[in-house]
């Protein structure tokens, strides 16, 4: 990831428009800013959310609140709680899918 030339920007996430993305179950609500090829999001997963796809995109993901369960396509499982993060690249065997029983709020850069 290379952050392009961008002016200093402070963000009030409550003012960023929200889009709704249905999962296999539940929904994800995204507030998204784009800076060139870099996407920055605050994402809220509803309780019972399960992503409807395996994601191959690299991310830096930080759990603000809740519990996130991420499964790798190769069978590995990770449970992250508030204050934890994961980093995954665009390369290699990194396909992953997210779920949460209780809901989660995330900050993601990709």
pLDDT tens-digit profile of 15-65? 999 999 999 999 999 999 999 889 999 999 999 999 999 998 889 999 999
Task: Report the chain's mean pLDDT, rounded to a whole number.
Answer: 94
**CATH fold for the domain made of 19-109:** Jelly Rolls (2.60.120)
Backbone angles phi, psi at 30, to 5 degrees: -105, 140
What pLDDT score does 102 carry? 97
pLDDT > 90? residue 92: no
Confidence class for position 91, pLDDT limits 50, 70, 90: confident
Q: Where are the domains of the chain?
A: 19-109
Q: What is the pLDDT of residue 64?
A: 98
pTM above 0.95, yes or no: no
Q: Span 71-91, mean pLDDT?
A: 93
């Amino acid at each position: 990831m290379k952050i392009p030339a961008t002016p200093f920007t402070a963000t009030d996430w409550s003012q960023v428009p929200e889009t709704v993305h249905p999962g296999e179950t539940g929904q994800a609500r995204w507030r998204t800013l784009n800076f060139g090829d870099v996407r920055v999001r605050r994402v809220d997963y509803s309780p019972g959310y399960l992503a409807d796809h395996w994601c191959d995109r690299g991310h830096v993901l930080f759990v603000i609140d809740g519990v996130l369960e991420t499964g790798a396509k190769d069978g590995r499982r990770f449970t992250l709680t508030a204050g934890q993060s994961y980093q995954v690249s665009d390369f290699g065997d990194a396909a992953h899918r997210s779920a949460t029983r209780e809901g989660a709020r995330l900050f993601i850069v990709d």
